[in-house]
Amino acid sequence: MNHIPTSVARGVLAGAMAGAMALAASIGSAFAAGGKLVIAESFPPTAGWAMESDDPFVLTRVGCLEGLARVDFEGQVIPALATGWEQVSPTEWDFTIREGVKFHNGEALDAVAVAAALNHVLGADAPARSFSPKVVASVAAAGDMTVRITTPSPSVLLPLRLASPNTGILAPAAYAGEQIDPVGTCTGPFRIVEHIPEQALRLERNAEYWGGDVRLEAAEMRFVLDGGVRATQIRTGEAHLSRVIPASAIEALKTVEGVNVITVETARTNGLYLNNARAPFDNVNARRAVQSAIDAAAIAATIYEGSAQPAVGPFAPNEPWAPTGASGAAYDPERAKRLLAEAGIDAGALDLTLLVYTERAELPDLAAVVQAQLQQIGVKAEIRSSNWSGIETDLYAGNFDLFLMSRNHLIDVADPIAFLAADYTCEGGFNISNFCDPAVDALVDEARGTADPSARNALYAQVAVRLQDEAVTVFLVHIESIEAVSEKVQGYRMHPLAHYVLVPELGLAE
């Protein structure tokens, strides 16, 4: 047997380790965020900046893209690239374009450019819900600085449609190629200087911004898919602001000095959808029994680790269309059993199918909790989980009893009418519950023609009360969005719809 001195072996190992350590040390500490604000973002653009996709939301977040109107931080629609608008006839609206605005490439904003941009969205293969030929008939320049938009039927919601990121305005040059090009073609407080696909957007201040001074010199949005890594980056100092933090990271982040964890309720409610068209849930008492059997507070505290609030109905309490003083159904298994008995339903004889899709990671866990809580009142439910494609056919065909879904109720504009019409009217395009109530249809119809936002919101609140009273859907939790922000960041507020992150007022302490 041949032997090598142990010292040689140790030398080889020590040399290799020392080399690795030296390499790591030599490149260390060069990754601090520097003099620019760095955002760790969860959602990278995936659709080639197509204006009808969700990519424009990234562009508004980085302060590049602007539209004729915008939703402010209080949820109100206010003018942006338009100075005002007027409904000149039931189907015609005139928007007055702001004077003196320039695109980042120096071209002036005018009615022709605005009309061209909006017509591009309108002509997409699969137009955005907020601005499709179903809701907008035509867009045309009606003067140098006036754009006339015609709707196929009288509409009071048009200004809200023009506040959607999908209706953002880019310079004509943006639409010249196969893909939309936002570099140099926005009007916002920040201009894109570099887009590294799948990785980052690098931005600098637009010194000629029409809205006044922009405090930050530069910024970078990095696309980091893993929520845990986004949470780590705020701790390492690589990011000043990490968006969409997973609930599991909250407690650890709260203990980090110099980092604030902030939350805002989103327009997303997770619910247990009941098939109202077939037994047993064609009986209101059976639906109410499930409502009483589910402990939403426990679900919010355990599955969501405090990143969700027990639901009080389809809308979170802070939303302007939520019923005043609404409260969720009380957890009362004994009442649930009583209701089933009153309905003449033998709980033990029920064998329900609970569908759940796996694209939202927490839903399968939620299904197991719901199954266990139904078991407490003697109801057996079999879980069938699959990706969305695997259950879609059964959903539309009504081959289910219960279905867990995470639903955004501002699906096109900052107003829930499209959600209510699609999900809860007799002819709704996404009426998974197979619910039909002429009273609800009448309320939705009335809201469609009501111009005053307060009056409209009151009608939505009435619908919400009815849905909750009739236990059409067992609303479980209102989802909150969580962000972690360095204390160095000045003037940051979470936008209720996540439309804006980089705004002119945002600053960074040295």
Partner 1 sequence: MIPFIVRRFVVLLLTLLVVSVLCFALPYLSEADPARSILRARVAELAIDADAVEGLKARYGLDRPLPVQYASWLGNVVRGDFGYSFTNRMPVGDQIGSALRVSATLALTALAIAIIVAFPLGAVAAIRPGGRADNVVTFITQSLVALPEYWLGPLAILVFALHLGWLPSAGWLEPAHVVMPACVLAFRPLAYFTRVARASMLDVLNAPYMTAARSRGLSVARSIVAHGLRNATPPVMTLFGIWLAGLIGGAVVIEVIFAIPGMGRLVYNAVVNHDIPLLQAGVVCIVALAVAINTVADLLYLALNPALRASRHAG
Q: Which stretch binds partner 1 (CB under 8 A): 62-70, 141-149, 406-414, 434-442?
A: 406-414
Interface with partner 1 includes 397 (CB under 8 A)?
no
Task: List the one residue from 76, 153, 236, 375 that touches partner 1 (CB under 8 A).
Answer: 236
Task: List the one residue from 389, 427, 452, 509 that touches partner 1 (CB under 8 A).
Answer: 389
Residue ranges of alpha helices (H) inside 343-483 are 363-375, 388-397, 417-424, 438-448, 453-469
Q: How many CA atoms lie within 13 A of 270 on its CB side?
A: 28
Q: Minimum CB separation from partner 1 for residue 78, in Å?
A: 25
Closer residue to partner 1, CB minimum distance, 126 or 509: 126
Task: List the one residue from 388, 426, 442, 491 that touches partner 1 (CB under 8 A).
Answer: 388
Which one, of 48, 77, 45, 76, lies nearest residue 61 by Cα? 45
Which one, of 211, 252, 261, 199, lies nearest residue 41 by Cα? 199
Q: Which of residues 101-160 bind partner 1 (CB under 8 A)?
A: 125-129, 132
Q: What is the number of residues in the chain?
A: 510
Q: Which of residues 169-198 bind partner 1 (CB under 8 A)?
A: 178-179, 196-198
What is the per-residue burial (b if ≥16 Cβ within 10 Å, else e) of 98-121?
beebebbeeeebbbebbbbbbebb
Cis upstream peptide for 438 (omega within 30°)? no
Cα 65 to Cα 185: distance, rounded to the nearest angstrom: 9
Cα 36 to Cα 142: distance, rounded to the nearest angstrom: 42
Closer residue to partner 1, CB minimum distance, 399 or 408: 408
Interface with partner 1 includes 18 (CB under 8 A)?
no
Q: Minimum CB separation from partner 1 for residue 481, in Å?
A: 15
Closer residue to partner 1, CB minimum distance, 129 or 215: 129
- The DSSP call for residue 172 is G
Q: Which stretch binds partner 1 (CB under 8 A): 8-16, 72-80, 208-216, 301-309?
A: 8-16
Torsion, Cα of 239, 244, 245, 247 (10° steps): 170
Q: Minimum CB separation from partner 1 for residue 145, in Å?
A: 32
Interface with partner 1 includes 257 (CB under 8 A)?
no
Cα 102 to Cα 163: distance, rounded to the nearest angstrom: 19
In angstroms, the Cα distances linking 8 to 14, 18, 19, 20 are 10, 15, 16, 19
Interface with partner 1 includes 255 (CB under 8 A)?
no
Q: Which stretch binds partner 1 (CB under 8 A): 20-28, 91-99, 319-327, 492-500?
A: 20-28
- The DSSP call for residue 152 is S
Task: List the one residue from 316, 379, 422, 461 that touches partner 1 (CB under 8 A).
Answer: 422
Interface with partner 1 includes 361 (CB under 8 A)?
no
Interface with partner 1 includes 52 (CB under 8 A)?
yes
Interface with partner 1 includes 225 (CB under 8 A)?
yes
What are the φ and ψ backbone dihedral angles of 408, each rounded to 5 degrees?
-85, 125
Q: Which stretch binds partner 1 (CB under 8 A): 71-79, 108-116, 400-408, 482-490?
A: 400-408
What is the per-residue burial (b if ≥16 Cβ within 10 Å, else e) of 196-225?
eeeebbbbbbbeebbeeebebebbbbbbbe
Interface with partner 1 includes 222 (CB under 8 A)?
yes
Q: Minimum CB separation from partner 1 for residue 140, in Å?
A: 23
In angstroms, the Cα distances linking 218 to 175, 192, 253 are 26, 10, 26
Q: Minimum CB separation from partner 1 for residue 133, in Å?
A: 9
Q: Minimum CB separation from partner 1 for residue 472, in Å?
A: 17
Full 3-state SS string of 96-110? EECCCCECCCCCECC
Interface with partner 1 includes 35 (CB under 8 A)?
no
Task: List the one residue from 99, 213, 334, 392 that touches partner 1 (CB under 8 A).
Answer: 392
Cα 106 to Cα 132: distance, rounded to the nearest angstrom: 30
Residues in contact with partner 1 by the rule CB under 8 A: 1-4, 6, 8-9, 12-13, 16, 20, 23-25, 27-31, 45-48, 50, 52-54, 125-129, 132, 178-179, 196-200, 222-226, 228-229, 232-233, 235-236, 238, 387-390, 392-393, 405, 407-408, 411, 422-423, 429-430
